[in-house]
Amino acid sequence: MNHISPVLWQFLIHWLQQFAIFPPEASTIAPYADALYFTLVAVTIVGLLLVGGMVVVFSVRYRQERHPQAVQIEGSTLLEATWTLIPLGIFLVFFVWGALLFFRIYNPPANSMNIYVVGKQWMWKVEHPGGQHEIDTLHIPAGVPIKVTLISQDVFHSFSIPAFRVKRESIPGRYTTVYFEATTPGRYHLFCTQYCGTGHSGMIGWVYVMTPEKYRQWAAGTTSGSSLAQNGERLFSVMGCNACHAGNSQARGPNLYGLYNSRIRMTDGSTMIANDAYIREKILNPSLHVPAGYVPIMPTYQGQISEEGLIELVEYIKSLDSRYRLTQMMNKSELDSAQPAPIGPANQGVGAAPLQHAPASGVPKP
């Protein structure tokens, strides 16, 4: 829409912001969402004028004083077909337009930076890959695509940033994702929009969008010293996971190196993709789907590890995959090169396997 007249567009946005008719546009998605919204509003107004016009004009022209005798009309197939097909056509246009936007918001590009968010009564716990933890705040760099992976520790919550026009439910027992790329540095509302009990209206916070340079400083100053994957590695040994998942040929459990995003064949003949949800489910409910060639001897860790702990374990197991590590590293360097300052020391995930390690796929070797 802004190619019609940038000046007019800017003026309109300014005027609307003064009167707070719509929230600031602070993500790459926001202008697309607003364009769709304004079109929808325009169509609504046209429809309303049409119906309202009919009602008002007919009420004036055919009121009883002026038109004492009604003329009986059966109907008109042509007219009715018109007002069936035209609305249908308009609705279908919105269906396609809305679907395109939907798929954009919920399908993050491969080079997105990963942030994990756990919703719990009544706070948002944010876990950055570099090991930074936050509660009810989210610091992100502008100009970098960000994929937020959500889960809830108790009830349904919903992660909403109106200025980005994105929202995603945080569900107990299930990872969901949402993607955005912030454009304008500033401070924006973060809401929980799903009713979650007494503290629902207190489950709000702020999103701080920073320039990449500022973000790097913030990240360096806030980290707890070890990355999410390193925390996961520690938890992995504390829970005794490496007793079975030692990664050698004598191990009783599958090798986890290169597991992430590979296709696994199950004992029942089906195949599953080893994504985040798969890894989480394997820790909590290992006997539900058993990979071919293994016996279900793994005990469940249900109730023993918090959602944050699970995220650390998942991140660790992901980091054992060289492709994942490579993307993460490339994102990091992209972020670093986005600002003029010299590239600082990378606080990257643990390098547990050599980079040239060929990505495993198909059936994991026992």
Q: Considering only residues 78-97, where is the footprint of another protein by CB under 8 A? A: 79-80, 83-84, 87-88, 91-92, 94-95, 97
3-state secondary structure of 180: strand
Nearest CB to another protein, comparing residues 77 and 356: 77
C-beta neighbour count of 237 within 10 angstroms: 10
* 198 belongs to the binding site for another protein (CB under 8 A): yes
Give min distance, CB of 25 to another protein, in A.
12
Binding-site member from 176, 227, 230, 328 for another protein (CB under 8 A): 176
Among the listed ranges 6-14, 63-71, 127-135, 354-362, the one in contact with another protein (CB under 8 A) is: 63-71
Secondary element (H or E) of residue 25 = none
Binding-site member from 5, 10, 14, 102 for another protein (CB under 8 A): 102
Give min distance, CB of 32 to another protein, in A.
8
* 306 belongs to the binding site for another protein (CB under 8 A): no
Instruction: Compute CA distances 207 → 139, 166, 184, 200, whole Å.
Output: 6, 13, 12, 18
Cα distance between residue 192 and residue 209, in whole Å: 19
Secondary element (H or E) of residue 119 = strand 113-120
* 22 belongs to the binding site for another protein (CB under 8 A): yes
Binding-site member from 163, 219, 259, 283 for another protein (CB under 8 A): 163
* 156 belongs to the binding site for another protein (CB under 8 A): yes
Which residues are registered as beta bridge partners of 117? Answer: 126, 150
Nearest CB to another protein, comparing residues 105 and 274: 105
**202 to 241, contacts with another protein by CB under 8 A?**
202, 204
Can you tell me which residue has the tokens 């949402």?
A: 178
Cα distance between residue 131 and residue 333, in whole Å: 17
**264 to 293, contacts with another protein by CB under 8 A?**
284-285, 288
- Verify cis geometry, omega within 30 degrees of 0, for the bond prior to 122: yes
What is the β-pairing status of strands 123-127 and 113-120? antiparallel
